[in-house]
Amino acid sequence: MANTIKASVVQAATAAYSLPDTLDKLERLTRLAKERDGAQLVVFPEAFIGGYPKMSTFSIVMGERRPEGRDEFVRYAKAAIEIPSPAITRIEQVSKELNVFLVVGIIERDGGTLYCTAVFIDPEQGYVGKHRKLAPTALERIIWGQGDGSTLPVLNKTFESAVAPGSSVQAKLSATICWENYMPLLRNYYYTQGTQIYCAPTVDARPAWQHTMTHIALEGRCFVLSACQFAQEKDYPADHPVANAEARDPNNVMIAGGSVIISPLGKVLAGPLLDDEGVISAELDLDDVLRGKFDLDVAGHYARNDVFEFRLREPVGPGSR
């Protein structure tokens, strides 16, 4: 048990595309996780900063883009953040002040292109890396660019033991965003890099998502920390598209949550949290990773490298900056 840390997952939404309000919310919820639960690692949902434009069409039809859709994109792009930027500096300050490692879903603006990105913020080093979503899903492909092999970090982090003060815990962390988790080769890449804490920021609130997260925990023999947004109509601008424009209600649910923490042997340690904003937390005994790999190591003794070959193409592109 000495090889244990405390981790939290935040279930919350962007504050109506307001960057200052969303950063304040990030600080408030990180502080809650730290002060209430002793969190050393906190994971935020996909697109927490910048927002997930649920129900938006950006006025697109095949072969035509309309002026009102371009205007909506302008508003959305202005809510995104750059790396580096004052917003990243603010997140670094929160991380340092509370001594919490943060994994945060953002909408990243790089020139004229937006990316769905997860940033890694270390309390001592500040910003240490990012992962850009490789394959946006469906209409997401209209507003987000594609990541590449230059932003697939598996980061080494030394934590203090949560149960044995003075002892250190070595952990490897990664992030895979929403339906990227259905890409077998991407999962396999992270397994081959030895990920132990597999962060999964998402907006997928379907019951089936719970099965996906459990499968990945069992398959990769890793802890899975899935942070989903919980969003209501009031969390969006007043004119944002909704499921039924004739029945607008600030309390109507747009994204229902389902955040969860699962152990390498498939045990649900916290959650799933549904239909509410909140923070869930659990102790992660990193020795459970080895306990799981005793009988299943898909990057080792269960890999059959004599039969299958796997490799990563490593482009040098703008994502590597």
**Residues catalogued as catalytic:** 46, 133, 178
Compute the C-alpha angle 78/82/88, nearest 5°.
115
- The residues facing 42 across adjacent strands are 8, 102
Residues 262, 217 contacting (CB under 8 angstroms) = yes
How far apart, in whole angstroms, are the C-alpha atoms of residue 50 and residue 46? 10
Half-sphere exposure of 31 (CA within 13 A, CB side): 9
Q: Compute CA 147 distance to the chain's CA centroid, rounded to the nearest angstrom.
A: 15
Which of 149, 201, 154 has its CA nearest to residue 315? 149
Cα 297 to Cα 53, 78, 153, 185, 308, distances in angstroms = 38, 44, 20, 15, 15
Question: In terms of DSSP bridges, do strands 41-43 and 155-160 run parallel, antiparallel, or are they unpaired?
Answer: unpaired
Beta strand pairing call for 197-202 and 101-110:
unpaired
* CA atoms lying within 13 Å on the CB side of residue 41: 32
Q: What 3-state DSSP class applies to 25?
A: helix
Please tell me the distance from the alpha carbon of residue 139 to that of residue 143, in angstroms, as a whole number.
Answer: 8
